Amino acid sequence: MDQTSNRNLARTIGIDFGTHKTLVARWDESISRPVLVRLRPAHGDDMPSSVHVNQEGKFNFGDEADRLGALDPDGYQRAFKRDLGIDAAPYLLHTHEFSAADLSREYLRWIKNIVETECLHDTVEHAVFTVPATWLPAAREALRQAANDAGFASLDLVDEPVAAGMAFLHSRRDLWSEGALMVFDWGAGTLDLAVLTLENGQPRAIPDLIGGKPGLGGEDIDRHLVQSVNKRLVQLKLPKLERRPPEDLEQVRRAVTEWKIRHSAKPDEVWLLPAFANSTDATEMKWTSAEVAERIEEKIKEAIDVAEQILQRSEEKQLSLKGILLVGGSSQFVSLKNMLEARLPELSIFTWDQRICAVAVGAAYGACGVKLPSTEAVTGGIPASVDNEPPLNMVLIPAGDFVMGHTSGDNEESAPPHTVLVSAFCMGKYEVTKAMWDEVLFWGRANGYADLESGGGKASDHPVVDVSWYDAVKWCNARSEKEGLTPVYTAECKVFKSGKSDKVDCDWNANGYRLPSEAEWEKAARGGLSGKRFPWGNDTIKHSQANYLSNWSVGFRYDLNNPNRSDYYHSDYNTAHTPFTSPVGSFAANLYGLYDMAGNVWEWCWDWHGAYFNGAADPRGAAWGTKRVLRGGSWKDLADGCRAANRYGDSPTITGIHLGFRVARSLVPSSSK
């Protein structure tokens, strides 16, 4: 790619148009690096690469396409990207015929509209699309033409593993300064590999060390597992999935996708296919982690064979290959990492928490042609471990001390100013939404979290409310288990899944999801600034900055809303019925990139509410109490509740339409995971 000196970086994006998911990254000048575009307000940054066409020919995309596809599978299609550039039969969606290029064009047109209207508020000037390294020229040209027809007038293509390697070498210079790096990008569609080196401080891909294997992506492994289910059905003399209701096939597809990720992290787990849960076939349709591992072991071996071929070619070129970086959804197999370490013991194997978004971020780096940041600019007091990159939809909060407590002339007896040292950790960008809550809730109730409350929420992209402290910590454990992480909370030496025990313990060294400590929450809220009343870095507040209750009769001098009104909710969200919450991320983020750290909903923290401990490092509150800490204010509370130093405590059993939470995660070495 040529670097264009007069390109407007604010209007340049990188697009990872994936087989299953699409991610978009843009350049953020305030922090001098790419950030992901939030394509799905209710769920996160990625968007399903799916299309639904109804009988009248109307298109729907992404989440809505998935929802409609479950009800109307005849109009649904995903993974159409795989057929670009090949002579494939058209897709028949109801009575309408579409080529892969047709569906790609309409989907990309929709993505472009989201980016321009919801993020850039301007037109896209230039885009870099990533493509599988194994794609032939016909497929590349088909994507280029579809993107042009979708309105992307100026675009470049870059190989997916090259983009991922660029993201790693740009953002983790502290870990890599010499030697060659193999990028092992195992996505839903293909297995792609590339070897990159640093030359004069810049990443460079070795052209004849880029390759991979088509037909060996996550989608192919899913099909292999579905075929195994069909074989079991045939053995039992039962109808195959194709002869069952369409929803059975969709349930099985979703189930095997989860098995694929969890099988090695939970070696003793037993799963029951949801399509057979209430049938007489239930016992026969149970699957163990060992059975799943056996069925995909051959695919993992195939993938490692390809890596060994690239390694051999590197040695022929006398390149000093130092390590392998695993990226892409299918790279999450723990068994893959273990088998690589066994077969290639001379190489370091990196499992990067940015593996899902690395391709999109690398595309944005490539589009902008920026120089590598210095090591000091990247690390910021963060332990030098590749696993300490923030997961998707989380922000890395650097280690360091800060002044905790009231500032700016406020005088709050329960929050005296004092210096606190906090270790680095990760914090959720957004408050947990109702959609996120429900996704984990349904899984949790089927996996031992029987008394998880349904919670409430005004809409799927609004924060979940009506959840107690106990609900929040159990949900964190459920989400951890669902994603193959180590649960943080235990009660009497067992994973905390039900009840309201007074003996809940927190393992701060576990890698699962948890609530932040009160000190972590305040450090994150202040965004690296000191002495300021509010998270955005000044001492005043108004409704353009947060969703809270403004009341001039109380006389808070820092509340700058209309003085002619004495008591009012935010006018944009005071609609229909309570709660008058706002969609998460509706207001500008603080300097750490965190949204809604003031207002919207109060956020549960780990600590018992009590006196501060002066001079403590990583304080985690009193050993005992009757109330747990809540922070941040809410849509139904006054401006003083939104202050970064404000403290509030309530019973851990209490719920309310103004109480929610966000998640945190500890930074732990890869050997601890």
pLDDT (tens digit per residue) in 460-515: 999 999 999 999 999 999 999 998 899 999 998 889 999 998 889 999 989 999 99
Residue indicated by tokens 């599978």: 73
Whether residue 133 lies inside any domain: the answer is yes
CB 396 within 8 A of CB 390: yes
Compare 176 and 586 and report the one with higher pLDDT.
Answer: 586
pLDDT band at 383 (very low <50, low <70, confident <90, very high): very low
Backbone torsions φ then ψ of 288, nearest 5 degrees? -100, 160
Quick one: pLDDT at residue 2?
A: 43
Compare 86 and 466 and report the one with higher pLDDT.
Answer: 466
CB 198 within 8 A of CB 178: yes
pLDDT band at 104 (very low <50, low <70, confident <90, very high): very high
User: Which whole number is the average pLDDT over 407-433?
Assistant: 82
CB 658 within 8 A of CB 637: yes
Compare 266 and 649 and report the one with higher pLDDT.
Answer: 649
pLDDT band at 4 (very low <50, low <70, confident <90, very high): very low
| Residues above pLDDT 90, as percent of the chain | 39
Quick one: angle between helices 434-445 and 469-482, nearest 10? 70
Tens-digit pLDDT profile for residues 199-245: 777 788 888 888 888 778 877 888 888 888 888 888 878 888 777 77
User: Which whole number is the average pLDDT over 607-620?
Assistant: 80
Quick one: pLDDT at residue 119?
A: 87
Residue indicated by tokens 């994006």: 13
User: Which whole number is the average pLDDT over 265-292?
Assistant: 62
Whether residue 88 lies inside any domain: the answer is yes
CB 47 within 8 A of CB 16: no
> Considering the chain, what is the average pLDDT of its residues?
83
Question: Which two three-digit tokens encode residue 403?
Answer: 């002044």
Whether residue 58 lies inside any domain: the answer is yes
Quick one: pLDDT at residue 384?
A: 34
Q: In a 3-state reduction of DSSP, which class is residue 350?
A: strand
Quick one: pLDDT at residue 614?
A: 60
Domain that holds residue 58: 9-160
Question: Which two three-digit tokens encode residue 364?
Answer: 């944005």
pLDDT band at 429 (very low <50, low <70, confident <90, very high): very high
Quick one: pLDDT at residue 499?
A: 93
What's the half-sphere exposure (Cβ side, CA atoms, 13 Å) at 534?
22
Q: How far apart are CA 263 and CA 240, in angstroms?
A: 24
Quick one: pLDDT at residue 213?
A: 83
For residue 78, give the CATH number of its domain: 3.30.420.40
Quick one: pLDDT at residue 151?
A: 96
User: Which whole number is the average pLDDT over 81-107?
Assistant: 93
Quick one: pLDDT at residue 385?
A: 37
Q: How far apart are CA 464 and CA 502, in angstroms?
A: 24
pLDDT band at 248 (very low <50, low <70, confident <90, very high): confident
Tens-digit pLDDT profile for residues 550-567: 876 666 778 887 655 555
Whether residue 125 lies inside any domain: the answer is yes
User: Which whole number is the average pLDDT over 139-164?
Assistant: 93
Smallest CA-to-CA distance from 461 within 428, 430, 429 is with 430
CB 580 within 8 A of CB 636: yes
Whether residue 92 lies inside any domain: the answer is yes
DSSP run (H or E) holding 156? strand 155-159
Q: How far apart are CA 64 and CA 546, in angstroms?
A: 29
Quick one: pLDDT at residue 98?
A: 96
Quick one: pLDDT at residue 593?
A: 85
Whether residue 65 lies inside any domain: the answer is yes
Quick one: pLDDT at residue 400?
A: 81
- Number of domains the chain contains: 1
Q: Give, in degrees to the nearest 5, the angle at Cα 526 between 523 and 527.
A: 95
| Residues above pLDDT 70, as percent of the chain | 85
Beta bridge mates, 7: none
pLDDT at 530 over 80: no
CB 23 within 8 A of CB 360: yes
Whether residue 385 lies inside any domain: the answer is no
Question: Which two three-digit tokens encode residue 617?
Answer: 């490092």
Report the relative pairing of strands 155-159 and 126-131 from DSSP bridges. Answer: parallel
Whether residue 22 lies inside any domain: the answer is yes
The string of DSSP codes covering 415-469 is: S--EEEEE--EEEESSPPBHHHHHHHHHHHHTTT-TT----B-SSTTSBPBS--H
- Terminal CA-CA length for the chain: 38
pLDDT band at 616 (very low <50, low <70, confident <90, very high): low
Q: In a 3-state reduction of DSSP, which class is residue 40?
A: strand
Instruction: Report which residue type is found at 309.
Output: Q
Report the relative pairing of strands 602-608 and 628-631 from DSSP bridges. Answer: antiparallel
pLDDT band at 187 (very low <50, low <70, confident <90, very high): confident
Question: Which two three-digit tokens encode residue 76?
Answer: 């649904």
Quick one: pLDDT at residue 265?
A: 52
pLDDT at 152 over 80: yes
Backbone torsions φ then ψ of 184, nearest 5 degrees? -110, 90
pLDDT at 376 over 60: no
Compare 270 and 510 and report the one with higher pLDDT.
Answer: 510
pLDDT band at 419 (very low <50, low <70, confident <90, very high): confident
pLDDT band at 274 (very low <50, low <70, confident <90, very high): low
Q: Which of 227-241, 243-257, 337-351, 607-621 has the highest mean pLDDT?
A: 337-351
154 Cβ neighbours under 8 A, 6+ residues apart:
125, 126, 127
Quick one: pLDDT at residue 603?
A: 98
Tens-digit pLDDT profile for residues 584-613: 989 988 888 899 999 999 999 999 998 886
pLDDT band at 269 (very low <50, low <70, confident <90, very high): low
Compare 30 and 454 and report the one with higher pLDDT.
Answer: 454
Compare 395 and 247 and report the one with higher pLDDT.
Answer: 395
